[in-house]
Amino acid sequence: MIIPSSQPCNPITSGFAPNRTAVTVAAALAAEEIVCDALQGCKAGCSRHPLRVQEHGWTEVANLTNMAMMTPDERRTPTDAAAAAPPTDAAIAGGQAVGAYRPTIGKDFINERHRGYSVYPTRDGVAIDHPVFGWLRRGDALKLYEMAYFSPGDILDLGTHKGLSSTVMAEAVFDAGSGASIVTLEINEEYSGVARRAHRERRLTNIDYRVGDAAKHLDTFVGEGRKFGFAFVDHSHRYGPTKEACIRLGKLLMPGGFVLFHDYADPRNADPGNDEYDVVRAVRDHLPPSFRFAAMSGCCALYEFTGDGSG
């Protein structure tokens, strides 16, 4: 343990795992697609900031592993606070809404696996070339990993497909040691089976597979009073199914939880002739005001739930 016991107001007595949180600042600065102007951090180790201690040429970053310890404003990085407005229609139409990754919780990469997504090889200059097939950008995977790592409860994954988003999140949960489950919803039974096999090969066991329409499963969870710490919405990008998710999320998320909408920055959302992509309009029309825009990352939009969970 490298944190001096005399450190002032150190809140990280139980959750800190030094080996999981070691990153080099040099590597962070060299990484592509990363805008992190908050790397200096707070050396005082107060409750507001990750604590950094130089040792053996490494910078150890003690992230706060329990979001509940911080108020929403304490959790938000200064860079997020400055950029806390969703992109305009013009930016989306022009393809300028794709966001560089910035941490929302803490100020750095969480560990080497997380940092690895910042330099992950891409298939076509866009999607990461992961052994589990999917369409995640680096910025998408980085934010998914971060949100899953710090999730205070189980996680909802809308749209399993072949299992990429659930792989990224299941690995984050495993690395965090939080014990959270990923509940992944897929309408197509065959895809759900493909994902199951991919996860089995990777020995990922913390995943609960549900087959059927996402809205139907969400209603079941609402009926059970079940709450989640984080939700990734990436099933259909049409208006109707995105609306169905938005109107239920206020009853499903824990206070302080987050929801990440995939393909929010896709310019096809701005094309009135393309009804396959209508994420932006559905979110604007139906996500309750208790959700506050937090950040763009890759092609995703992140919203924080500030309500009490009653809807």
Which CB atom, from 227 or from 238, has the smaller least distance to ligand SAM?
238
191 binds ligand SAM (CB under 6 A): yes
Asked if residue 148 binds ligand SAM (CB under 6 A), the reply is: no
User: How many other C-beta atoms lie within 10 A of the C-beta of residue 88?
Assistant: 12
DSSP run (H or E) holding 247: helix 239-252
Question: Does 136 help bind ligand SAM (rule: CB under 6 A)?
Answer: yes
Q: Which of residues 70-129 bind ligand SAM (CB under 6 A)?
A: none
Residue nearest to ligand SAM (CB): 159
**Which one of residues 45, 134, 229, 307 is an interface residue with ligand SAM (CB under 6 A)?**
134
Pull the structure tokens for residue 232.
Answer: 């990734």
Nearer to ligand SAM, 63 or 192 (CB): 192
Q: Please give the size of the binding site for ligand SAM, defined by CB under 6 A.
A: 18
Phi and psi at residue 259, in whole multiples of 5°? -130, 140
Locate 25 and state its tokens: 């600042």
- 184 strand-pairing partners: 157, 209
* Cβ-Cβ contacts under 8 Å for 4 (sequence gap 6 or more): 53
Secondary structure (3-state) at 305 = strand
Q: What whole-number distance in Å separates Cα of residue 204 and Cα of residue 200?
A: 6
Of the pair 136, 254, the CB lying nearest ligand SAM is at 136
Backbone conformation region of residue 213, classed left if phi is above 0, alpha if psi is from -120 to 50, else beta:
beta
Helix (H) or strand (E) holding 197: helix 189-201
With respect to ligand SAM, which residue has the nearer C-beta, 22 or 158?
A: 158
Q: Where are the beta strands (DSSP E) in 86-143?
A: none
Tell me the closest approach of the beta carbon of residue 157 to ligand SAM, in angstroms. Answer: 6
Do the beta carbons of residue 278 and residue 248 sit within 8 Å?
A: no
Q: Which CB atom, from 176 or from 299, has the smaller least distance to ligand SAM? A: 299
Of residues 223-282, those binding ligand SAM (CB under 6 A): 234-236, 241
| Of the candidate residues 54, 96, 122, 188, the single one contacting ligand SAM (CB under 6 A) | 188
28/180 with CB nearer ligand SAM: 180
Binding site for ligand SAM (CB under 6 A): 134, 136, 159, 161-162, 164-165, 185-188, 191, 213-214, 234-236, 241
